[in-house]
């Protein structure tokens, strides 16, 4: 019976006859579902949003990194569909869970989406299914949270059903690295779980990297983003050091980057944003607090990075004071609200806090972002940091008392901004780069 269950599923995967379910069709789930479909697998996407299911079923993508033409082609080929009906999880041989894992206000993990997904999968669980959790989380989640929910049905992991963790590595807007060509780390509860996980993901991922356990896979993702968070915290602190010393931090970074060994270039900015770096290290910190261990570097880097919106707002206020203008009533134009260039993702964007801080100081604030036409209240947006993008006209640039560069989108003509704006505070070095490129003397 056990061998038959494993062999049958392995054979279905090998013949590309396994039905795949993807729970959550967001920035992670939809690209994954599309790659599965392109590999010839039939995919059912599970969503709580009727807007998303309607778009996918109409052959349209709501994710910038996924072309609507790809979704439409898979719909025509009957390889992809979306549904609100979680009972249909019973139809799936492979289930990938790709739901959000936000942090609460106290930086404790909010596992409600994962728990709800696990309960839905458990309700539909049958022998011969492989479940893979992709949502970033703390070490032990797969074994301690998902496994008991599935074993309550009387099934044995590695025999009747199979369970793995494989962290998503999505980088929105990256033109070079995407779902198919980014190596995929995967660890199963048992060796058979890992074997099945590798077998199915190898159908649409160029390289799958098996590890010994779900905990190793969970910790791999946390290490990756903790590394980035701490190094960003270092250069953000260096930006504050250079500000006090009257030295150009960008010049220092570029000079240091000429060293061919022992240095990796990171750049400062307005603070951390996105779905990973601001959140993932705190999952590890939370887990270690439960084991009476303090992750000091994570907490210190988190403190430094969280200070950056206020640092830049204070820089703007000081610059206004130097020209005899109070921040209260000043016309401030913020350029960019996405968390990084050339995308429309505002999750955890420091721009939202910056807008809120400026409005709290009484500034007359407007923003321009070619990728984010409006800021919607998603329940996480700071109070007051809502609005619509304004047109970036010559008149608006000239009439602004100060321009604050938060996101250096390629679509913005930074040379024009440099020529027309009377006062610029630049968190991304976009203006200096534009001036160097165009031969414009620094103001």
pLDDT in tens, 153-210: 999 999 999 999 999 998 888 889 999 999 999 999 999 999 999 999 999 999 999 9
pLDDT, one tens digit per residue, over 28-86 is 999 999 999 999 999 999 999 999 999 999 999 999 899 999 999 999 999 999 999 99
Does residue 190 belong to any structural domain of this protein?
yes
Distance CA 295, CA 408 (A): 32
Q: Are both 336 and 194 inside the same structural domain? A: no
Distance CA 437, CA 230 (A): 31
Does residue 311 belong to any structural domain of this protein?
yes
What is the pLDDT at residue 341? 94
Q: Which residues of 204-232 are buried (b: 16+ CB within 10 A; e: fewer)?
A: bbeebebbebbbebbbbbbebbbebbbeb
Under the banding of pLDDT at 50, 70 and 90, the label for residue 442 is low
Looking up residue 375, the CATH number of its domain turns out to be 3.40.50.720
Domain boundary among 160, 185, 212: 212
What is the pLDDT at residue 385? 46
Q: Does 17 have pLDDT greater than 70?
A: yes
Q: Does 382 have pLDDT greater than 80?
A: no
Q: Are both 193 and 243 inside the same structural domain? A: no
Q: Are both 299 and 237 inside the same structural domain? A: yes
Question: Range of 370's domain?
Answer: 225-438
What is the pLDDT at residue 1? 42
Q: Are both 303 and 240 inside the same structural domain? A: yes
Q: Does 323 have pLDDT greater than 50?
A: yes
Cα distance between the two ends of the chain: 76
Domain boundary among 212, 239, 257: 212
Distance CA 103, CA 116 (A): 16
User: Of the candidates 410, 361, 369, which has an alpha carbon nearest to the alpha carbon of residue 387?
Assistant: 369
User: Of the candidates 158, 177, 186, which has an alpha carbon nearest to the alpha carbon of residue 96?
Assistant: 186
Under the banding of pLDDT at 50, 70 and 90, the label for residue 103 is confident
Of 98, 164, 193, 276, the active-site residue reads 276
Distance CA 59, CA 273 (A): 30
Does residue 170 belong to any structural domain of this protein?
yes
Q: Are both 323 and 406 inside the same structural domain? A: yes
Distance CA 316, CA 311 (A): 9
Does residue 283 belong to any structural domain of this protein?
yes
Q: Which residues contact 125 (CB under 8 A, 6 or more apart)?
A: 89, 90, 150, 153, 155, 161
Q: What is the largest CA-CA distance in the chain?
A: 81
Q: Are both 37 and 167 inside the same structural domain? A: yes
Percent with pLDDT over 70 in the chain: 96
Does residue 48 belong to any structural domain of this protein?
yes
Q: Are both 301 and 366 inside the same structural domain? A: yes
What is the pLDDT at residue 380? 46
Is the CA virtual torsion 366, 368, 373, 376 positive or negative? Answer: negative
Domain boundary among 184, 212, 240: 212
What is the pLDDT at residue 218? 97
Work out the angle between the directed axes of helices 296-322 and 350-360 (0-180°, nearest 10).
40
> What pTM does this model have?
0.90
89: DSSP letter: G
Does residue 217 belong to any structural domain of this protein?
no
Q: How many domains does the chain have?
A: 2
What is the pLDDT at residue 437? 80
Does residue 297 belong to any structural domain of this protein?
yes
Q: Are both 324 and 197 inside the same structural domain? A: no
What is the pLDDT at residue 235? 97
pLDDT, one tens digit per residue, over 327-374 is 999 999 999 999 999 999 998 999 999 999 999 999 999 999 999 999
Q: Does 305 have pLDDT greater than 90?
A: yes
Q: Does 105 have pLDDT greater than 50?
A: yes
Give catalytic status of residue 276 as yes or no.
yes
Q: Are both 34 and 181 inside the same structural domain? A: yes
């Amino acid at each position: 019976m056990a061998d038959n269950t494993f062999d049958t599923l392995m054979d279905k995967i090998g013949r590309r006859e396994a039905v795949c379910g993807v729970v959550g069709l967001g920035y992670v789930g939809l690209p994954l579902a599309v790659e599965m479909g392109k590999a010839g697998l039939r995919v059912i996407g599970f969503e709580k949003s009727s807007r998303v299911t309607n778009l996918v079923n109409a052959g349209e993508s709501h994710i910038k990194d996924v072309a609507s033409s790809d979704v439409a082609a898979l719909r025509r080929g009957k390889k992809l569909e979306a549904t609100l009906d979680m009972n249909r999880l019973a139809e799936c041989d492979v289930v990938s869970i790709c739901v959000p894992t936000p942090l609460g206000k106290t930086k404790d993990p909010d596992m409600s989406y994962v728990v709800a997904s696990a309960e839905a999968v458990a309700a539909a669980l049958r022998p011969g299914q492989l479940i893979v959790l992709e949502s970033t989380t703390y070490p032990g989640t797969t074994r301690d949270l998902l496994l008991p929910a599935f074993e309550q049905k009387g099934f044995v992991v590695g025999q009747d059903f199979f369970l793995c963790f494989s962290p998503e590595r999505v980088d929105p807007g990256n033109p070079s690295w995407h779902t198919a060509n980014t190596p995929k780390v995967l660890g199963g509860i048992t060796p058979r779980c890992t074997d099945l996980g590798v077998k199915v993901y190898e159908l649409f991922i160029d390289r799958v990297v098996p590890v010994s356990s779900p905990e190793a896979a969970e910790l791999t993702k946390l290490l990756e983003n903790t590394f980035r968070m701490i190094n960003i915290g270092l250069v953000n602190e260096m930006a504050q050091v250079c500000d006090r010393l009257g030295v150009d931090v960008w010049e220092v970074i570029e000079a240091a980057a000429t060293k061919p060994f022992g240095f990796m270039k990171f750049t400062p900015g307005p603070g951390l944003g996105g779905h990973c770096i601001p959140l993932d290290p705190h999952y590890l910190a939370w887990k270690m607090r439960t084991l009476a261990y303090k992750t000091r570097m994570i907490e210190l880097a988190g403190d430094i990075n969280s200070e950056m919106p206020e640092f830049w707002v204070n820089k703007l206020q000081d610059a206004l004071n130097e020209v005899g203008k109070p921040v209260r009533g000043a016309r401030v134009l913020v350029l960019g609200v996405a968390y990084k260039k050339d995308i429309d993702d505002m999750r955890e964007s420091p721009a939202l806090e910056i807008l809120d801080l400026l409005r709290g100081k009484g500034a007359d604030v407007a923003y321009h972002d070619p990728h984010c036409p409006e800021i919607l209240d998603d329940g996480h947006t700071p109070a007051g940091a809502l609005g619509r993008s304004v047109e970036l006209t010559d008149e608006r640039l000239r009439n602004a008392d100060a321009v604050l560069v938060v996101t250096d989108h390629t679509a913005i003509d930074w040379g024009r901004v440099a020529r027309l704006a009377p006062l610029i505070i630049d968190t991304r070095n976009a203006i200096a780069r534009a001036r160097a490129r165009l031969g414009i003397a620094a103001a």
